[in-house]
Amino acid sequence: MKTTKLVMLVMTIAVALFILIPNLSWAEDGAAIYKGKCAMCHGADAAGKPAMKAPSLISDDAKKLSDADLAKAVTGTAKHTPAVKSLAADDVKAVVAYVRSLQK
């Protein structure tokens, strides 16, 4: 009887971790990628840097963009460095999710 309860507890914790960990690490990865590749031009708060002609990512115009359009902007802008243009699709999604969290 005690073994069954212990097994059920371990299984419940395992399922909870399986569900929660990917969501937590995904947002964290987006923040790390943004800070490493985007913040130098767009600012840590994503407000942009007009002197560099780096647009705000938290403006009303940016908020109106779909996730797909924002992802295209991340990888498709000629001014972006090759390191940004070569981000994997999952990394781009993570950055878009992080920018969306900054827009709130």
23-44 confidence digits (pLDDT tens): 555 555 889 999 998 999 899 9
Domains observed in the chain? 2-103 (1.10.760.10)
* Whole-model pTM over 0.95: no
User: Residue 83, CB half-sphere, CA atoms under 13 Å: how many?
Assistant: 5
Both tokens of 28, joined, read 């964290």
* 97 vs 55: CA distance, rounded Å: 18
DSSP labels, 76-100: H-TTS-HHHHT--HHHHHHHHHHHH
41-72 confidence digits (pLDDT tens): 899 999 999 998 889 999 999 999 999 999 88
